[in-house]
Amino acid sequence: MSDLENNFTPQLTADGSLTFFSQEFGEAFHSNFGAKQESFRKFASATQLSKIAQKPVLRLLDICYGLGYNTAAALQTIWAVNPNCYVELIGLELNPSVPQAAIAHHLLDNWNYEYTTILTKLAFEQQVQTNRLQATLLIGDARESIRKVNQLGFLADAIFLDPFSPPQCPQLWTVEFMQQIALCLHGAGILATYSCAACVRKALLLAGLQIGSTEPVGRRSPGTVAAHPQSVESESNSALPPLSPAEKEHLLTRAAIPYRDPQLNDPASVILQRRQQEQQTSLLEPTSRWRKRRLLSDHS
């Protein structure tokens, strides 16, 4: 366990929960506002888990499982509402030592979290089976893992999309990756992500999903939720929270040019360069000019 403890240094966030800093991506796994709050509000609440938990079986796809916080928040939310709900969970994670280090450092201890044994088994064995949970952690590049999920015919009621930021990890924000994710989303399911980047939202739209805006958590910018158009239009699903006029305008600027990865195997540098070239030749309004124009109209 010593290696796991040495390679990851816990950082305190404002709600008293801990997170890690990733040397590889140059970013913390959570915002300073609060790692635990983020998991509940940006993911468990945003996907309306307490409502979906009325179902006898609930399927959950956790993309970029990381420390396991989003799954932890999900299980807590689901079983608080319906202790008999049977959960089928698939988590995608590149680096198995991240969830293992979270356990080694006892990061969930200050949650008073009652399902730590489940997350421990999942982190170290990648499989958990109980009388109300079937969980699998797929280790490797999420672009390959998501295709395995599709081959299984797994349709998630809720999807958590939680990679590092688009500039740091563009390969998990591309149109092609979103298309794979959309295939895994149940007809009435909801996807949630912390990002409101115009390129991310555009990729979700190009993948055939409708999008909405979630409340900001710990920062000024909101998150994003997405669902299949038919579920948004149906009576059964509460409509997605609408985008503001400014958010809609932002989607008409160069910032909304999405990342592309045609074969789902390009390195990050190639994906970044491809988008940069497309932005340079684009006839769309430069985002800086749009921001300036909006600022002027706001003050006039």
**Which residues, other chains included, contact 213 with Cβ-Cβ below 8 Å and sequence gap of 6+?**
196, 222, 223, 224, 225, 241, 242, 243, 244, 247
Give pTM, 2 decimals.
Answer: 0.93
Cα torsion at 59, 218, 170, 256 (round to 10°)? 100
C-beta of residue 141 within 8 angstroms of C-beta of residue 94: yes
pLDDT (tens digit, 0 to 9) for every residue of the chain, 300 residues total?
A: 445 555 678 888 887 887 887 777 677 787 777 788 888 888 999 999 999 999 999 999 999 999 999 999 999 999 999 999 999 999 999 999 999 999 998 888 878 788 999 999 999 999 999 999 999 999 999 999 999 999 999 999 999 999 999 999 999 999 999 999 999 999 999 999 999 999 999 999 999 999 999 877 666 778 999 999 977 666 445 678 889 999 999 999 999 999 999 999 999 999 999 999 999 999 998 888 888 887 766 654
Residue 212 within any structural domain of the chain: yes
The answer to whether residue 296 is domain-embedded is: no
Question: Both ends of the chain: CA-CA distance in Å?
Answer: 60
**C-alpha closest to that of 225 among 246, 206, 200:** 200
**Confidence (pLDDT) at 235:** 47
Query: Is 283 a domain residue?
Result: no
Q: Judge whether 256 lies within some domain.
A: no
Q: Is residue 267 part of a domain?
A: no
* Parent domain of 179: 2-244
Q: Are 89 and 71 in contact (CB under 8 A)?
A: yes
Residue 205 lies in a domain: yes
Q: Which residues contact 29 (CB under 8 A, 6 or more apart)?
A: 19, 20, 21, 22, 35, 66, 67, 98
Phi and psi at residue 80, in whole multiples of 5°? -70, -35
251 domain-assigned: no
Specify the CATH number for the domain of residue 233.
3.40.50.150
In a domain, 298, yes or no: no
User: How many domains, in total, are found in the chain?
Assistant: 1
